[in-house]
């Protein structure tokens, strides 16, 4: 309906609308807008069958009068499209490997496993939720997962078994790769929830506050953008700035390190340019090899300080004479002196 400016790509908006279409109704959220978004973006991206289903569901809703013509035109145009969806937008179940219809829901229609979404792009992540035996407490399960697996243990992937729910015993918990296990901790009386990453090549991150999952690159970029917005929106204060919470301090430290490195490189580059220009002006010859003089060699020695003290003195003829210190490329060579006579006007 309304199309405000957004930096989100079209496929992300489509995934957001698909996610909202199967959750419980939310107050002040128009289901008409959600379904129309699926129909409009789906038709432009080749998801014709999903667009047709979304328009059919809109018939049972009360459509605002100003949007009725848009829905009627979209319903007529969708009749000239095929009854198929592109495979690029269909969600894949990472447990059974089956493709699911776009309007099929938030769980696999074959193995009934619930999809786990990235709350940045709302794409399905390769995570599978599993449970633990009733005899094992949550703390014991965490200790078993974090323990080192035995060397000569025979490991079989328990996540390929049939059934809608996976429950692991003690030995299976010990054999799990702890780097691929994500634990969502909740206060009692709620129980912990355990997830396993089926594709190790995809790096995932979990927020320790909301227990939502993200791809690692997306999570770092979103957290970095949040830190930058906080720094720009908050007014400067003379009080001590508290470091950000929930892991953002490490990212802020990395940003500061990158800024310092960029400043050092820029300063060294400017220093090299100044050195070359001084050679050209004072020696009146080009420099073939450029060597950036370290900062420590720019400070004059004791003998140079005495010479510099006598750079300017009056000889009675309205002329100023004195030695001139020339910057050299070689840090170990002594600076040369030239006598220059300047008429004071």
Looking at residue 171, the DSSP 8-state letter turns out to be H
Mean pLDDT of the region 137-162: 78
Encoding tokens for residue 197? Answer: 């990453």
Mean pLDDT of the region 53-75: 89
- Computed over every residue of the chain, the mean pLDDT equals 74
Q: In 3D, which of 173, 141, 167, 143 has the Cα closest to residue 155?
A: 173
Q: Which residues are registered as beta bridge partners of 265?
A: none
Q: With 60 as the cut, is the pLDDT of residue 333 above it?
A: no
State the Cα angle at 37 between 49 and 58, rounded to 5°: 70
Q: Encode pLDDT of 248-279 as tens digits.
A: 455 555 555 555 555 565 556 555 665 665 55
Q: Encode pLDDT of 100-111 as tens digits.
A: 999 888 888 888
pLDDT (0 to 100) of residue 169: 84
Q: How confident is the model at residue 313 (pLDDT cuts 50, 70, 90)?
A: very low
Of residues 103 and 298, more confidently modeled: 103
3-state class (DSSP) for residue 144: helix
Q: With 80 as the cut, is the pLDDT of residue 96 above it?
A: yes
């Amino acid at each position: 309906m309304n199309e405000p400016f957004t930096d989100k790509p079209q496929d992300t908006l489509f995934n957001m609308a698909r996610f909202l279409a199967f959750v419980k109704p939310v107050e002040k959220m128009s289901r008409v807008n959600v379904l129309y978004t699926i129909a409009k973006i789906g038709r432009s991206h080749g998801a014709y069958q999903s667009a047709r289903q979304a328009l059919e569901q809109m018939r049972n809703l009360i459509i605002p009068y100003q949007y009725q013509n848009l829905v009627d035109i979209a319903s007529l145009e969708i009749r000239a499209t095929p009854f198929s969806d592109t495979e690029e937008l269909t969600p894949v179940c990472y447990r059974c490997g089956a493709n699911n219809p776009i309007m099929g829901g938030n769980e696999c229609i074959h193995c009934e496993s619930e999809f786990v979404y990235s709350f940045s792009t709302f794409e399905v992540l390769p995570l599978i939720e599993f449970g633990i035996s009733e005899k094992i407490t949550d703390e014991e399960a965490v200790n078993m997962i974090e323990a080192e697996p035995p060397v000569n243990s025979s490991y079989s992937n328990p996540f390929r078994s049939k059934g809608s729910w996976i429950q692991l015993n003690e030995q299976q918990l010990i054999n799990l790769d702890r780097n691929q296990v994500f634990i969502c901790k909740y206060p009692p009386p709620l129980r912990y929830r355990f997830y396993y990453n089926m594709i190790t090549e995809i790096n995932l991150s979990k927020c320790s506050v909301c227990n939502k999952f993200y791809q690692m690159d997306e999570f770092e970029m979103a957290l970095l953008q949040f830190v930058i917005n906080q720094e720009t929106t908050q007014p400067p204060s003379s009080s001590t700035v508290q470091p950000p919470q929930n892991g953002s301090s490490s990212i802020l430290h990395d940003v500061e390190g990158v800024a310092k490195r960029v400043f050092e490189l820029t300063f060294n580059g400017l220093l090299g340019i100044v050195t070359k220009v001084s050679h050209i002006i004072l020696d009146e010859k080009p420099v073939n090899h450029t060597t950036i003089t370290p900062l420590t060699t720019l400070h004059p020695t004791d003998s140079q300080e005495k010479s510099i003290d006598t750079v300017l003195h009056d000889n009675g003829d309205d002329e100023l004479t004195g030695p001139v210190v020339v910057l050299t490329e070689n840090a170990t060579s002594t600076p040369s002196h030239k006598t220059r006579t300047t008429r004071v006007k």
